[in-house]
Amino acid sequence: MEYRADKISLFKGVDRVAVLLYIALVVVGLIAIFSASWVEGSENFFSFSHNYVKQAVWIVISLVAGVVMLLLDASLWHKIAYYLYGAAILLLLVTYLFGTEVNGAKAWFKFGPIQLQTMEFAKIAIALACARLMSEYNFSIHSAKDLMKVALLLFVPLGITVLQNDTGSGLVLCSFLFMLYREGLNKWLCIPIIFIAGLFILSFIFSPTALLVTLILVFTVSEGLSDGRWRACVVYLAALFMASILLYLVVNIFTESSFSYFNSLLIATILSLIVVCVYAYRARLRTLFVMVALFVASVAILPTSNAVFSKLRPHQQKRIEVFLGIEEDLNLTYNVRQSKIAIGSGGWFGKGYLEGSQIRYGLVPERHTDFIFCSVGEEFGFIGTTFVLLLIAAFILRLMRMGDNQRETFGRVYCYAVASILLFHTLINVGMTIGIVPVMGIPLPLISYGGSSLLSFTVMIFIAFSLDAQTRSELPTNRSL
Amino acid sequence: MNGGVTTSPRAFVVRIIVALIFTVLLGRLIYIQLIDDSYGNLSDQIQYRDVVVHPPRGEIYDRNGELLAQNRLCYDVSIIRRDMSKEGFDTLRVAALLKMSPEVLVKRIKSSPYRVERRISTYPISVEEKLLLDELNVAGLYTSQRTVRQYPRKIGGNLLGSISEVPEEKIRQDESYSAGDYIGREGLELAYESVLRGEKGLIMQDKYAPLDSRNTVLKEPVSGRSIVCTIDAELQQFAEELMENKVGAVVAIEPSTGEILAMVSAPTFNPDEMIIGRERGNNYMREQNNPRRPLWNRAVRSRYPPGSTFKLVTGLIGMQEGVLRPHYQYPCHKGYHLGGEHIGCHEHRSPIDLRYAIATSCNAYFCYVFRNVLENKKFERAKDGFDVWREYVDSFGFGRKLESDFLGEGSGYVPTRQFYDKMYHKSWNALTLLSLSIGQGELGCTPLQMANLAAIVANRGYYYIPHIVREIEGQDSLDRRFYERHYTKVDPKHFDVVVDGMWRGVNVDGTCQGAYLRGWDVCGKTGTAQNPRGEDHSTFISFAPRKNPRIAIAVYVEHGGWGASMAVPIASLIEEKYLTDTICRPHLVEYVKKTKIAYPMYDRKKR
């Protein structure tokens, strides 16, 4: 390992505000975990069977790891990014093959008494590899080939998490879109991705017929908007629906089979597209071609949602169905309801530390891990939740600032990747406790109970700190904090 | 920004997005924490309290629908210190009702938190006491309903188990439990905890109108589900009475289903004494310190030498291995003598065939059979023969758990080749192990396994896993394994000879003629197990009737002497009771009940 020779002080150039924010978050976590796991009247306050004691030990281990990250030469990360990525992929595969199954997901690795979720650590390597790739000399965010490379970098680990039955934690990689946007990803690429994601979710709720009709209308209207050929559009729509109804009636009357309207509409649409293509070719309308291609892509997405859905674990399927209101699961709605009651009953100032009845009675499930935010919400009220959220927001913004201050693309991409991951985790975790996001087993960074989560986040964050410290100490004028 | 640092408009947009996301989260928090009061605001805490509603535990019925364990209503008393009046209250009377000293009461109140409800009663109070407490009308003192167990027949202590407050470790393991909840300990209560416990509910209750229908139900409690067990309460009680003053176990099984009809571990204890309450601790410690160990469920846990009852297995294995035919005759002159080995036997005519050997329980005969099995020419060494023998024994359910639904089932013990290699430094042969043939030596069986052997013979070659629960409310069927026939490795065709021998033993000229019941064709096999601690154990396995058996039973009386002297009459009376529902031999019942067996080996320990 290389050490920085020119360094006089270990903490030279380290962003003290960011470190303070980090420590504040960890302490908030410990306070909340204590409240959620302390059983009244239990002997052995410092016994290792208590979650808060374990967490405290993990905090110490994490801090040591963080200091080690600061000691290492920041340029090291650039050098070993790809090797780390390779190791991470290998580790994920090994976990998939030989890992321990927890809650149906083969995503954990056991070292004696310690269980580690390998994806937590793989995230660091993925972020580093992304940064390395995007900082290559001839990398261009506008080149399709380069973008494909980034996509490959992200989809390989995502694929493995799907195999591991742990899609939830793999979805975190979606947050890299945010970082890519910052790096200048074409917004015309962002919009279709978001459009398709939206379509993906809608396809769970609405019938295929309704979606197909909506898609036809959306694309016809946007074609009308872009070209102004309203008359042609109206004629096309009228002809299409007439044809489909005719087809439906004719087939059903003559063959007496139960041919659904969806099928006839689909056939009519496909046939009509041939006509449209011929028309577009003759009239040399390039946008029409693009529209047709996008439309075909969107229609092709529809059946994939079911295929993906069936890949999810039963409890994940259920969570999504419950959230979308397709199915009522008393147990899940109960969890979210309990969590909302806990937070809602906190009011302005909360019920006081260790006096939250929801938490104390154990009515909130997973109260020290995924639902730790309830503990804050119930016992410290709106003041507490706002404080914690502002802390996290400040921390994320600080990380982004570090990214912007970086001279190298490598550091910038990495800092933004870390910020994106934190943002994603916070949104999903806090969102689910207050019922605006489906329940996914994703921890609240630095606050939720869990050693592997805390350690991996700490390492990830301190690498960013170290990159930042190097930039600062190299600056000609030492800026004030 | 410094020179050289690239900034882009995107950096600005990205910050807007972050701000938007956090605004959405904060907006939602403002809504649920400050605006929407359906989740119960802080201000509500003054008027409302969250009441955890404990569901009634599922009841336990016997196979005829009689209640074995039912619920009794009682109350927990708790306080919220904030709601108590400044003037104080009559601590003397409250303390008297709670059966604690006023000092303790005051101390508990002072040490409880200000806003959070805290239980102050150590044990639940009865309905009458609760009504008296209500009359005192103490502000800030609340009662909440609980249920504890009550046992109409006061039988089956070890069988039913008991309930107690959930221990701290369990709370840490399983989040659905919280301090003060009740949980099953031992027996059925533990084995079917998940069925019986139900789910706690939560009500936001108006403190000043506790019965108001507008009280918000945050979560409906779900009552525990009842279970119907396979036990016949009357038979169980009768068997327990017969086993009074003795140490041992009785297990009766219905062979055609594997349902356990009665399961007694003697001495037993009164389950009513283990009900949560003031007396429980003392009673528990008393039973715990009893040197005869009533809390140890002998019926499923103890390892007993099966004695001569095991000869059935030896004979069956011999026939299956082809080294024994029913008509083979072997001599016996007061035992089996070869080299230095000597296994004694009682006096009977010689030579004899298999049927008579079973009926009269000849030791020598089965020594021959055992040797022939192990020293079969097809095996290179007797040790290989032993491995094969062990596989057979395993298929009868010995030396392993039967996977019944009863928790804490012991596995008994059947020694392995490695065991003997270690014990005899690798130099052993069939002669060394000869005592295994007659169920002695290192063999250990639970009474459940022995009853299962009786069921296997009764069924002519297969068994259903013995189980204790027949039906679970809201569940169509039990686990699949209870409906599968488990065949032994011995062909069913060989069983008829053994049944013949067992029938002869009871009805013609055998060791267990005391089990004879007119018209019921009882079949049985006695056992007299030698043991180093004292008098022989008396044991008997039996089933009846011979065709379409309805009951298979194993009785084990520690240090009861000959199989015929103690175990046979007990088993016979239980069979009579079950099959005919009457007792024609009241004098025998009297005799059995009155017989006290001395247990110096247990009672000596006391001092």
Does residue A400 or residue A293 have the better pLDDT? A400
Q: Do A182 and B11 touch (CB under 8 A)?
A: yes
Q: Do A350 and B11 touch (CB under 8 A)?
A: no
pLDDT band at B584 (very low <50, low <70, confident <90, very high): confident
Domains and CATH numbers, chain B: 50-82+98-229 (3.90.1310.10), 233-271+296-606 (3.40.710.10)
pLDDT in tens, A81-96: 999 999 999 999 988 8
Per-residue pLDDT at B251 exceeds 90: yes
Q: Nearest CA to CA, how far is B50 from chain A (Å)?
A: 8
Beta strands B118-119 and B67-79, pairing class: antiparallel
pLDDT score at B177: 83
Nearest CA in chain B to A347: B33
* CB–CB contacts below 8 A, A to B: 144
Query: Which one, of B584, B580, B582, B557, lies nearest residue B570 by Cα?
Result: B557
Average pLDDT over residues B184-202: 86
Does residue B553 or residue B563 have the better pLDDT? B553
Give B-chain residues touching A360 at CB under 8 angstroms. Answer: 116
- Let me know: does B358 contact B525? Beta carbons within 8 Å: yes
Q: Which helix (H) or strand (E) holds B526?
A: strand B523-529
Determine the distance from the C-alpha atom of residue A93 to the mean position of all C-alpha atoms in its chain, rounded to a whole number: 21
pLDDT band at A259 (very low <50, low <70, confident <90, very high): confident
Q: Do B39 and A377 touch (CB under 8 A)?
A: no
Give A-chain residues touching B10 at CB under 8 angstroms. Answer: 181-184
Q: Nearest CA to CA, how far is B113 from chain A (Å)?
A: 8
How many CB atoms lie under 10 A from the CB of residue B445? 33
Per-residue pLDDT at B11 exceeds 70: yes
Q: Nearest CA to CA, how far is B33 from chain A (Å)?
A: 4
CA distance A406 to B541: 86
| Global confidence as pTM | 0.60
Determine the distance from the C-alpha atom of residue A420 to the mean position of all C-alpha atoms in its chain, rounded to a whole number: 8
Place of tokens 């003053």: B245
CB contacts under 8 A, A 151-180 vs B, are 178
Q: Do B42 and A475 touch (CB under 8 A)?
A: no
Nearest to B41 among A184, A345, A416 (CB): A345
Q: Do A344 and B50 touch (CB under 8 A)?
A: no
Burial A273-288, CB ≥16 within 10 A → b, else e: beebeeebeeeebeeb
Query: Which one, of B355, B295, B65, B337, lies nearest residue B157 by Cα?
Result: B295
Place of tokens 């170290």: A466
Q: Do B15 and A400 touch (CB under 8 A)?
A: yes
Q: Do B218 and A341 touch (CB under 8 A)?
A: yes
Nearest CA in chain B to A186: B10
- Let me know: does A232 contact A226? Beta carbons within 8 Å: no
pLDDT in tens, A187-236: 777 777 777 777 766 666 667 777 788 888 888 887 777 777 788 888 88
Give B-chain residues touching A354 at CB under 8 angstroms. Answer: 113
pLDDT score at A231: 83
Nearest CA in chain A to B116: A355
Chain A interface, mutation test: which of B29, B52, B54, most A Cβ atoms within 10 Å? Answer: B29
CA distance A167 to A311: 9
Average pLDDT over residues B209-226: 75
Query: Which of A472-481, B136-145, B221-230, B345-354 tops mean pLDDT?
Result: B221-230
Q: Do A434 and B25 touch (CB under 8 A)?
A: yes
pLDDT in tens, B370-379: 888 888 888 8
pLDDT in tens, B493-551: 899 989 988 998 888 887 888 888 888 889 999 888 888 888 888 999 999 888 899 99
Average pLDDT over residues B283-287: 85
CA distance A39 to B150: 30
pLDDT score at A57: 92
Give B-chain residues touching A377 at CB under 8 angstroms. Answer: 29, 33
Tokens of B589: 């019942």
pLDDT band at A390 (very low <50, low <70, confident <90, very high): very high
Q: Do A347 and B26 touch (CB under 8 A)?
A: no
Nearest to B116 among A338, A360, A362 (CB): A360
pLDDT band at A479 (very low <50, low <70, confident <90, very high): very low
Q: Nearest CA to CA, how far is B405 from chain A (Å)?
A: 25
Strands (E) in B284-406, as ranges, are 335-338, 341-344
pLDDT band at B453 (very low <50, low <70, confident <90, very high): very high
Q: Do B32 and A430 touch (CB under 8 A)?
A: no
- CB of A224 within 8 Å of a chain B CB? The answer is no
Average pLDDT over residues A107-127: 84
pLDDT band at B42 (very low <50, low <70, confident <90, very high): very low
Per-residue pLDDT at A129 exceeds 90: yes
CA distance A40 to B112: 11
Nearest to B39 among A340, A361, A400 (CB): A340
Does residue B214 or residue B606 have the better pLDDT? B214
Per-residue pLDDT at B273 exceeds 50: yes
CA distance A96 to A119: 11
Q: Nearest CA to CA, how far is B82 from chain A (Å)?
A: 13
Alpha-carbon Rg of chain A, whole angstroms?
26
Query: Which one, of B302, B256, B285, B275, lies nearest residue B485 by Cα?
Result: B256
Q: Do A357 and B116 touch (CB under 8 A)?
A: yes
- CB of A349 within 8 Å of a chain B CB? The answer is yes
- Let me know: does B528 contact B308? Beta carbons within 8 Å: yes
Give A-chain residues touching B5 at CB under 8 angstroms. Answer: 404-407
Average pLDDT over residues A57-61: 93
Give the least confident one: A146-160, B5-19, B460-474, B494-508.
B5-19
CA distance A36 to A34: 5
Say what the ipTM of the complex is: 0.81
pLDDT score at A326: 56
Nearest CA in chain A to B181: A361
* Helix ranges, B65-182 (H): 91-97, 102-111, 127-136, 157-160, 168-173
Q: Do B175 and A427 touch (CB under 8 A)?
A: no
Give A-chain residues touching B171 at CB under 8 angstroms. Answer: 39, 362
- Average pLDDT score over chain B: 85
Q: Do A382 and B115 touch (CB under 8 A)?
A: no
CA-CA distances (angstroms) from residue B183 to A256, A362, B147, B268? 63, 16, 12, 22
Chain A interface, mutation test: which of B33, B42, B118, B142, most A Cβ atoms within 10 Å? Answer: B33
Per-residue pLDDT at A62 exceeds 90: yes
Does residue B207 or residue B520 have the better pLDDT? B520
Nearest CA in chain B to A352: B115
CA distance B454 to B553: 6
Give B-chain residues touching A45 at CB under 8 angstroms. Answer: none
CB contacts under 8 A, A 416-455 vs B, are 416, 423, 426-427, 430-431, 434-436
pLDDT band at B2 (very low <50, low <70, confident <90, very high): very low
Chain A interface, mutation test: which of B25, B44, B200, B203, most A Cβ atoms within 10 Å? Answer: B25
Helices A187-205 and A286-311: angle between axes, nearest 10 degrees: 50
Query: Which of A18-27, A286-295, B130-139 tops mean pLDDT?
Result: A18-27
Nearest to B14 among A181, A344, A349 (CB): A181
- Taking phi over 0 as left and psi of -120 to 50 as alpha, with beta for the rest, B408 belongs to left
Q: Do B14 and A182 touch (CB under 8 A)?
A: yes
Q: Do B29 and A381 touch (CB under 8 A)?
A: no
Nearest to A341 among B8, B39, B45 (CB): B39
Per-residue pLDDT at A360 exceeds 70: no
- CB of A334 within 8 Å of a chain B CB? The answer is yes
Q: Do B42 and A39 touch (CB under 8 A)?
A: no
Tell me how long chain A is. 481
- Average pLDDT score over chain A: 82
CA distance A253 to A264: 13
pLDDT band at A2 (very low <50, low <70, confident <90, very high): very low
Q: Nearest CA to CA, how far is B404 from chain A (Å)?
A: 27
Q: Which helix (H) or strand (E) holds B523?
A: strand B523-529
Give the least confident one: A308-317, A417-426, A431-440.
A308-317
Place of tokens 């209640």: B67
CB contacts under 8 A, A 362-381 vs B, are 362-363, 365-367, 377, 381
pLDDT score at A19: 93
pLDDT band at B4 (very low <50, low <70, confident <90, very high): very low
